[in-house]
Chains A and B, each alone.
Chain A
Amino acid sequence: MINNLVSEANRLSGQEIDLCYHCHKCAAGCPVVEAMEYGPDRLLRMVALDQRDAVLRSRDIWLCAGCYTCSTRCPNDIDISAVMDALRKLAVTGGYPAGERDALLFHKLFLGVVQRLGRSHEAVMLGLFKILSRVPIYRDIDSGVALIRRGKVPILPKKSGAASDVQQIFRRSK
């Protein structure tokens, strides 16, 4: 089995990245392209050219909001969102520092809460995010207080009745 970046990303995502002919439709429609280093079309080319370090360290794979605009518009039906999922997985398993540290932290905290409780729980997740992220701790305090006052962020989680099943799903999905 060949282990260059494109074959690994193809295998994980079920896509054929080599089909890209660089029409730039993905980059034109991407809502976060302005904040990216390369943008989705250049990133696909870099994957094809096996530029593993640059791709897996880039902030672009973490800035992708998963909106599926690129996947929907690609004339060659490459599901670029699925490629981004695969690249994030390769970055994490390869031990690359996330190009957007707090984006990775958010996903990890979210899944950690779901694994324990069976459902999401904003108060726990947001509290941990505030403590562990590099986002200034005072940011969004007013919105947080407003949400709590409106009864929209329950402090204690309700029992979902799903926790043990969900823990088993997490174990078996490894």
Chain B
Amino acid sequence: MSYSFYPGCSAHSTGLEYGLSTLATFQHLGLELEELAKWNCCGASSAHALGHHILSLALPARNLAIAQEAGRDLVTACAACFSRLKKADHTLRNDPETREEVESVVGFKFTGEVTVRPVLAVLYEDCGLEKITAHMQRPLTGLKVVTYYGCLLVRPPEVTQFDDPDDPQVMTELLRAVGAEVKPWSYATDCCGAGLSLSRSDIVYSLVDRLTERAQEAGADAMATACPLCQLNLEMRQSSKSKMPVFFFTELLGLAFGLPEVKNWWTKHLIDPRPLLRSVGLVK
């Protein structure tokens, strides 16, 4: 199966290991990702936060137009990009007046043939748990994690149409399929503070500390996430001395598949996850 891939800006910068581990796991599973040609930034939260309604839809819509030409489903790793691409797609499908305006700004005709999907959904629905377990070389036995989705993969549910907005299960099932010990907790979709990290880091420190404390209470030694901004905040805004490692879920799949590239991902982290992985015998 092949897909158009929208890496988003962070896959080339602060979320480097997310982009790399997504490409590596997909390739290993025989799922082809072709990077969307000349893609542009989706506008992230800033375009809509300042009330630039049409701009906030037209920026992602240009990428939908390119994906439409390519004729394949559009897959993205970043939760914020997914949210904006899916919001544009949802609006173009359901609001004819706005569709006309966005079409004229971007210069294309929306057909609705392309579906926007997060990496999690493709692995869960198209690949499936059985195949993922079949590719496992080294079960992640003893690795205790909580899965953390953050906001934008699951909210607002009428737009995202993915998993359960209060109690999502897809990432948990994927990681259990490769032997990780995923602990139940109630904070999987709480907010990390997102873009407030720069202007009000005090707020983000308190939100992140609460999340890591709750993760510890749940019995986890690490967190697994599917959002590059969450991952950066979670690594950068822990105030306690003992730091909890934060993985992208694709890195853990790659580790379980026995991919040799994994060693290049651990060194990208602000919190080195290798001591934890060594303690459970998953790296030397």
Please determine whether chains A and B interact with each other in the same assembly: yes
Judge if A3 is at the interface, Cβ distance under 8 Å: no
Residues of A within 8 A of B16 (CB): 150-152
Residues of A within 8 A of B155 (CB): 67-69, 71-72
- Footprint of A on B, CB under 8 Å? 9-10, 12-14, 16, 37-41, 43-55, 58-59, 62, 104-106, 151-152, 155-157, 165, 190-191, 193-196, 198-201, 203, 207, 236, 267-270
C-alpha gap A78/B44 in the complex (Å): 22
Residues of A within 8 A of B38 (CB): 160-162, 165
> In the complex, are the beta carbons of B13 and A122 less than 8 A apart?
yes
Residues of A within 8 A of B203 (CB): 32, 35, 63
- Checking A66, A133, A152, A161 against B199 with a beta-carbon cut-off of 8 angstroms, the contacting residue is A133
Q: Which of A15-23, A47-55, A135-143 lies at the interface with chain B?
A: A135-143
A-B residue pairs in contact (CB < 8 Å), sample of 23: A12-B51, A31-B191, A65-B151, A65-B193, A65-B195, A67-B194, A72-B156, A89-B51, A92-B51, A100-B199, A103-B195, A106-B198, A114-B41, A114-B46, A119-B41, A129-B198, A135-B198, A139-B201, A143-B270, A165-B40, A165-B62, A169-B58, A173-B54
Count of chain A to chain B residue pairs whose CB atoms are closer than 8 Å in the complex: 173
Nearest B residue to A79 via CB reads B156
> In the complex, are the beta carbons of A69 and B151 less than 8 A apart?
yes
> In the complex, are the beta carbons of B151 and A146 less than 8 A apart?
no
> In the complex, are the beta carbons of A63 and B196 less than 8 A apart?
yes
C-alpha gap A135/B197 in the complex (Å): 11
Residues of B within 8 A of A100 (CB): 199-200
Judge if A154 is at the interface, Cβ distance under 8 Å: yes
> In the complex, are the beta carbons of A85 and B51 less than 8 A apart?
yes
> In the complex, are the beta carbons of B62 and A169 less than 8 A apart?
yes
> In the complex, are the beta carbons of A106 and B50 less than 8 A apart?
no
Tell me which of B46, B47, B165, B199 has the highest count of chain A C-beta atoms within 10 A of its own C-beta: B199
Tell me which of B49, B51, B190, B268 has the highest count of chain A C-beta atoms within 10 A of its own C-beta: B49
Residues of B within 8 A of A170 (CB): 55
- Checking A85, A143, A161, A169 against B236 with a beta-carbon cut-off of 8 angstroms, the contacting residue is A143
Residues of A within 8 A of B45 (CB): 66, 107
- Footprint of B on A, CB under 8 Å? 12, 31-32, 35, 63, 65-69, 71-72, 79, 81, 84-86, 88-90, 92, 100, 102-108, 110-111, 114, 118-122, 126, 129, 133, 135, 139-140, 143, 146-147, 150-154, 158, 160-162, 165-166, 169-170, 172-173
- Checking A102, A106, A121 against B46 with a beta-carbon cut-off of 8 angstroms, the contacting residue is A106
C-alpha gap A99/B43 in the complex (Å): 23
Tell me which of A66, A105, A158, A165 has the highest count of chain B C-beta atoms within 10 A of its own C-beta: A66
Nearest B residue to A109 via CB reads B46
Q: How far is the CB of B226 from chain A (nearest CB, A)?
A: 16
Residues of A within 8 A of B62 (CB): 162, 165-166, 169
Q: How far is the CB of B233 from chain A (nearest CB, A)?
A: 11
The 7 residue pairs across chains A and B that have the minimum distance between CB atoms: A89-B51, A102-B199, A68-B155, A161-B38, A162-B40, A67-B191, A173-B55
